[in-house]
Structure 1
């Protein structure tokens, strides 16, 4: 006869891991994509990202931590993109005279801005998100409405590695 009032403990570690013939197949959710929501985009990099909390992260990270991270990224963009805009305007005005060489400063400044955002995300990953099983990255993806590329924040789920215990 079954013991109806007994409490059994479920092991949550193996919820997304399947075993088949000495192979481990782990399923992880699709990454969360945070697209730029600013009104200015220079070489695919928007001037800000939306701070609204995505529902896919509701059980993984606190909304305050998510918002703080996006605001740190936005502050980096707020500091660097006005200078990029000035150099872009100067480069466009002088483009015919310099045969396009006047656009090199804005290309280098945009690369520097992307590098600063990546460094900030690496710091956030090592400080908090890798411990929570998440990885933030700045990636290039194709726009939904056109063939142009844009920079987005991609939040990937790190799969849990099962620990085999000898029987």
Structure 2
């Protein structure tokens, strides 16, 4: 009976060691880079343009040309989708009293579809290039610095390098 107890205890110790090693790797990863929206129109927290200026924290990690190409891809997706969202938002606001708010559903669905298309684009960019460079791009909802509103930002996280010389 005591032998079985010792085996379970040893497995828990191994899991604790693995968890501690993962936390150690994450502790030394730099803070993520935040790319904020810089456009003049924002619909449901999604700006019509993201800042294309190369952040200094990415120097040596990715080429400025690759960064600008990725941001331009996201901005072109926004450029196609947001004018339609704004038109639907205006129509929805005009008809809101008559429809008891149901006229805002199309713009909510279009906004969700725009976010999903940007997330798919960022996943494609991650698989194509950024995961190989130990970076991960994702769309994240953050609180604005100037007010209590929420906004969507591009979060560039540094993935920890796995020590390949450590035994299994």
TM, length-normalised to structure 1: 0.85
Could you report, residue by residue, the CA deviation over 1:103-128 in whole angstroms, capped at 9, with x for unpaired residues? 00000000000000000000000000
Quote the Cα distance in structure 2 between the aligned partners of 1:54 and 1:69: 13
1:5 corresponds to which residue?
none
2:8 corresponds to which residue?
none
Which runs of structure 1 show a deviation greater than 3 angstroms over 4 or more consecutive aligned residues? none
How many residues align? The count is 146
2:45 corresponds to which residue?
44
Could you report, residue by residue, the CA deviation over 1:28-87 in whole angstroms, capped at 9, with x for unpaired residues? 000000000000000000000011000000010000000000000000000000000100
Secondary structure of 2:80's counterpart equals helix
What is the root-mean-square deviation of aligned Cα atoms in Å? 1.3
1:13 corresponds to which residue?
none
The structure where helix makes up a greater share of residues is 2
Quote the Cα distance in structure 2 between the aligned partners of 1:133 and 1:165: 19
- Tell me if 1:101 matches 2:94: no
Quote the Cα distance in structure 2 between the aligned partners of 1:50 and 1:150: 14
Q: Could you tell me which runs of 5 or more consecutive residues in structure 2 were left unpaired when the two chains were aligned.
A: 1-16
1:63 corresponds to which residue?
64
The structure where strand makes up a greater share of residues is 1
